[in-house]
Amino acid sequence: MSIADFMPGNSLIKAQASRFDLERVLHPVKTANFLEDYWEKQPLLLAREDAGYYDSLFSLRDLDYIISSTDLRFPAVRMVKEGQSIPLARFAEDVAWGNDVYQGTIIPEKFYLEYREGASAVFQALHRAWQPLALFCRHLEKFFHHHVQTNVYLTPKAAQGFKPHYDTHDVFILQIAGQKHWRVYEPPLTLPHRSQPPDNARLRNDPGNLVMEFELKAGDLLYLPRGFVHEALTSKSESLHITVGITAFTYIELINEVMNGAIQSLKQEAAFRRSLPVGFTGEEEVSGELKERLIELVTDHLRQSDLGKVAYQLQQRFINNRGALLEGYLLDLPRLDDLRRDQCVRQRPGNVYCLKQEADQILLEFHGKAVSFPDYVEPSLRFILAQEESTFRIEEIQGSLDDRGKIVLARRLVLEGFLKLVDG
């Protein structure tokens, strides 16, 4: 069951698929089999013997371009060696520009000096700057309805960036280039919450019982549920891999949302305003009655709670944290004044949105904002949303709008960053 199962009937959440999707990452394992046998249960290792499997997603050449040509700044990059961070001053500096300063600017020559001397580089949240990774994350978010992020790790030969540790989020490891030797150990804590980080000092001395040991080669995949202790090191080959992290909404978040909303409403109920029994701290019989009464009161309240509304609130938080992917937006703007009925449009890739009714308006929520339309526009909006990755002409929009109304609607959605213009 997914968040969508709790949604009100007039709500819709979607995200466009990227060219590189979950099914392709898991191949040849079927998605249903992955969920049944591996998700949150056990590691999955896929050896493909196909070094170029991820080329359309990311490559060593892409990273070379990013380092040499994009003027990276901290904290987009950090460097580590055997678990210790390399001081920023050793590979970055502040660059004056007029009266301003570009702080923490990565100096490629200094960066590569540290790399040659055994330091690993972590390119944090690279999906925010690299479109194929951004689209890939959105596709996974569409499927899981959980937050997805990426870090890219570059490790030189005969090096180890991190000592044994576990993550508090599930991860897919995509080996892009070179290879790494991995050791995976039993989890000391099953499915740790993000508020339960590992005791790395203890794990360095005692990582636990070894579960797997293997070489991860270019094109291979490793899935690790949160909590599995792991370490990786290189030998004769450098390594480049992507860590795709999935930070899950857990029952802890659901219960927290329920209880946060419950406190104020509980104050309105006399049963919850009654004092605790006299002597409740001193007598075992009274304490037992207190426990039974508390369970009764909380259970009754939970039965009356609207879980659909609570899940919807989590959904809103999820949608509002998804930023816009606006490649080509600047090119679309000057064309909007002369928009024609035969202009082709399509949804922007990576849209995550919700459509809902509110009084006499229909709200399209996406990119952290709510765009309102008269309720008679709803059929036209639903037609546009149903197209997903399909290109269509403005005149093909269904509903009661005339051609002028369709153009006005399309222009508004282009301006808001939901649609893009397509030639042809």
Please state, for a pLDDT cut of 90, what percent of the chain lies above it. Answer: 64
Q: Which fold has domain 17-247?
A: Jelly Rolls (2.60.120)
98-102, 165-169, 284-288, 407-411: range with lowest mean pLDDT = 284-288
CB-CB contact of 109 with 115 (8 Å): no
Could you please report the per-residue DSSP string of 180-210? EEEEEE--SSSS--TT----HHHHHH---SE
Domain boundaries, the chain: 17-247, 251-313, 329-422
**Can you give the pLDDT at residue 8?**
37
How confident is the model over 309-317, as a mean pLDDT? Answer: 76
pLDDT band per the 50, 70, 90 thresholds, residue 13: very low
- Higher pLDDT: 51 or 424? It is 51
405 Cβ contact list (under 8 Å, min separation 6): 380
Helix runs in 195-342, H state only: 200-205, 251-266, 270-273, 284-304, 307-320, 329-332
Secondary structure letter of residue 275 according to DSSP? P
Q: Is the peptide bond before 225 cis (omega within 30 degrees of 0)?
A: no
Task: Kindly report which listed range (47-56, 113-122, 280-289) carries the lowest average pLDDT score.
Answer: 280-289
Residue % of the chain over a pLDDT of 70: 93
Q: What is the residue-wise DSSP string for 67-112? A: HHHS--BTTSEEEEETTEEPPGGGTEEEEEETTEEEEEEE-HHHHH
- pTM, two decimals, is 0.85
Is pLDDT above 50 for 229? yes
- Looking at 14-28, 86-100, 354-368, which range is the least confident one? 14-28
**Under 8 Å CB-to-CB from 180, ≥6 apart: which residues?**
155, 215, 216, 232, 233, 234, 239, 241
Q: Which amino acid is at 178?
A: G
**Residue in the block written with tokens 């339960």:** 196
pLDDT of residue 261: 67
376-399 average pLDDT score: 94
Residues 78-110 pLDDT 10s: 999 988 899 999 999 999 999 999 999 999 999
Q: What is the pLDDT of residue 82?
A: 83
Over residues 16-44, mean pLDDT:
89
- What residues have CB less than 8 Å from 227, skipping those under 6 apart? 166, 167, 168, 187, 188, 189, 190, 191, 192
CA–CA dist 93, 73 (Å, integer)? 9
Separation of alpha carbons 242 and 154, rounded Å:
9
The answer to whether residue 276 scores a pLDDT higher than 50 is yes
Look at residue 18 in the predicted model and tell me its pLDDT: 44
- Report pLDDT for 186: 97
Q: How confident is the model at residue 7 (pLDDT cuts 50, 70, 90)?
A: very low
CB 204 within 8 A of CB 163: yes
User: Model confidence at 356, in pLDDT bands (50, 70, 90)?
Assistant: confident
Question: In this predicted structure, which of 13-22, 177-186, 289-298 has the lowest mean pLDDT?
Answer: 13-22
> What CATH architecture applies to the domain 329-422?
Alpha-Beta Complex (3.90)
